[in-house]
Amino acid sequence: MPFPAAPAWLGIILSAVSVAAPSLSPLPVVTQPRIYVLDCGTLIYNRPEDYGLTREEVATTNMAVTCYLVVHPKGILLFDTGLSDRLVGRPVWENVLEGYGQVKFNTLRGQLADIGVTPDKITYLALSHSDWDHVDNANDYAGSTWLTQKPEREVMFGPQTTAADRLYYQALEHAKTVIFEGDHDVFGDGSVVLKFTPGHTKGHQSLYVKLAKTGGVVLSGDLYHYPEERTLHRMPKEEEAAGTAASRASMEEFLRKTHSELWIGHSIAFFKDALKSPAWYE
């Protein structure tokens, strides 16, 4: 049986919807650093034993995936790019990798657009490390200057990685790049510093930001995954001899000296209570 013809007004509405473009909010202008916490997905996981913990010892076995935008008077830094924006709207059973189910409700691009930031406005891109849940949108930001630890770049583009490994960050190979080994002062004033914390990977780095009202904060990357790793002094077995213990000890001393907070980006408890973009910390 044929469908009845759609009324003419419906076609007009659909046409209008199809051409409407979202409007950008004004780009923030700041006189001191601020941090936006971005929802970059969730990992559905059920093996905390891989991190030296039992199920009874953790509040939840799942993990948040958190990205951060640091807006400074001298520029904008994006720290990590999270799970792929292509996952939005897809069921978790389609996207299981290495035992982790991937879920995403918001695109990174959309969250940035909400605060007036398009990829071309981002001065610097820094990745805590090259694991897939931290780099899946990296190609979108290859127009920025990439700030990378030398050993991490060597792993990312070395002979041990495959084309599939590089899929989401391959554009960085020829991006404008600043390569270093150790701590790196991003804007030259001590307020935003990449901290070398090897162990989880050879070139793993965390990020310190000194905020006027909140105080100092350190964005952990994968120095820790579960907050219980920190309180119970646990870590993945393979990291015990890889440098993680030394990096954690050094970071704990840095936190004490600077009176800073540690933000564990994979912690569901941290992310649940955090001010999320378009709100910010300053």
For the domain spanning 23-273, the CATH number is 3.60.15.10
Rounded to whole angstroms, how far apart are CA atoms 163 and 107?
24
Query: Burial level of 105, CB count in 10 A (0-12/13-18/19+)?
Result: exposed
Strands 205-211 and 192-196: antiparallel
Distances (CA, A) of 48 to 56, 99, 226: 10, 12, 9
pLDDT at 171 over 50: yes
| Cβ pair 190, 164 in contact under 8 A | no
Order of strands across the sheet that contains 96-97: 96-97, 100-103, 34-44, 63-72, 75-79, 124-126, 145-149, 177-180
Q: Which residues contact 181 (CB under 8 A, 6 or more apart)?
A: 149, 150, 151, 196, 203
pLDDT exceeds cutoff 90 at 10:
no
Query: Cβ contacts of residue 21 below 8 Å, gap of 6+?
Result: none
What residue spans of 46-149 are helical by DSSP H?
108-114, 132-135
Alpha carbons 280 and 282: distance in angstroms, whole number: 7
Residue 82 token pair: 């999270």
Tokens matching residue 2: 């044929």
| pLDDT class of 186 with cuts at 50, 70, 90 | very high
Mean pLDDT of 66-71: 98
Tell me whether strands 96-97 and 75-79 are parallel, antiparallel or unpaired.
unpaired
pLDDT per residue as tens digits for the range 73-114: 999 999 999 999 999 999 999 999 999 999 999 999 999 999
pLDDT band with cut points at 50, 70 and 90 for residue 152: very high
pLDDT at 29: 84
| Number of Cα atoms under 13 Å in the Cβ half of residue 143 | 7
